[in-house]
Structure 1
């Protein structure tokens, strides 16, 4: 295993430090001594092949799972500043190993999962404030909720109508609602699990604008992905996982997609077909190669 280098930013304070994390599910080892360090105020890409242990590691951070071994520490991201930083510039970290999702949310850690956790019949505002509703007596103060969500949406650049039902939204709009939910609860560390998997190219560009705005506002973002072009475009730092282990930590500006891919799979890989072979080679391949997958008479009865 390659030993990941320390944070390349001189004096950069950490928002997250996870050490020697082990997590098993029966006979399946999801994390085997994984580690992660994320500096405050950066967009950090957590990359690896499917099954590398990325989502499990972040679910441990967000309180969904407790690790079998290892430690989880975070900075006090809500109050860190002149009172939350040592003279050396290193953020005060506190051990939160084994905490609950409620404790993680209260501490300013939010996670947007690949499969959204929204209530379709409710409006955007009702989903965002669910569990933390502004009240008028014992009832939901719907106007106050909509005002709060509209204000937050405007500040964060997450444009979505507060009074629309979630069932009527596009996938990209629903994702914005999930991010708004996390921000409404005070998230300053935001984890996104494969956020572009269901987005169109324009929606991806809009998401990048939102993440850059959050970073500029002092937020810390962890982006789980395996799309190397996106990693190079949006991230500041990269942690690579393979088979449940952390195998590399890289500065995005000092690496290449080929280096990242090599760390992900443990060997040199070709990232694209050799275009130099020309159309004749491609035609020959298409004609002579056996079909690996064939679909016929496929029908999907779905509005999306």
Structure 2
């Protein structure tokens, strides 16, 4: 009897040990939520992060990708990540404006001369200030990933000059700064989430949209848009961020692997951005979208129209803008 009882205890103990061992050996799962389809540059950058991290960790860390808002609606990504409902997010910079006004700098129209200028800002003091604000809110910023420039698309009217914009109803993504920009340009701004833009354009709810060529092509907006006015309004992108508590609870090795993988993905994204612009615009053109060039004089008129927007920025954003303008 005692022998049988002892044998049972040994079997139960072994089962418990095996269970505990399997738990400890289970891969650390990181879910990444974003609103674009997997053909988009952002999703492909997430894929680079996944590939790098899973290789560095020898499969002990697994990245699950959730494109097209399939896990969390884009408007809720930031709050969900802060609450820990998802481990990592990659929303467009404007979605961070609700928790740090400094993010408005990156949707301030015509604030940057180009990607080299923006990269210098985000890799220096300006990027550090924005990332520090996110840290205070419970998010660990791991990189800034670049997007093709925000430009004006229209569905029916061919816009060649600033004056031709007057009265048009133009869609924008959520951003107080971009709404102010569209008002300054003489249009009626309308905020519509990315996954609703196609139908809004198709049904004539809006006359056009400010968006990026890569986003437009990935969502097939080039099927319902006919013109691009080639004035680069915003050189923007996405902050790849992780729930801070989740990150802090990882081992030093895991944190290191995530940091290295995020840097590798960021570097890949930086190298891809310029070719992505050409590929996206070429795809749109192939689908019948006309790219309308703008002269230096016309671009200067649009720049002048932005003065009220710049003047209306919060003081801390104005201070960041001054730092950005001063960068050589």
The normalised TM-score by structure 1 is 0.24
Between Structure 1 and Structure 2, the one with more strand by share is 1
User: Relative to total residues, which structure has the larger helix share, 1 or 2?
Assistant: 2
TM-score by length of 2: 0.22
- Rg (Cα) greater in structure: 2
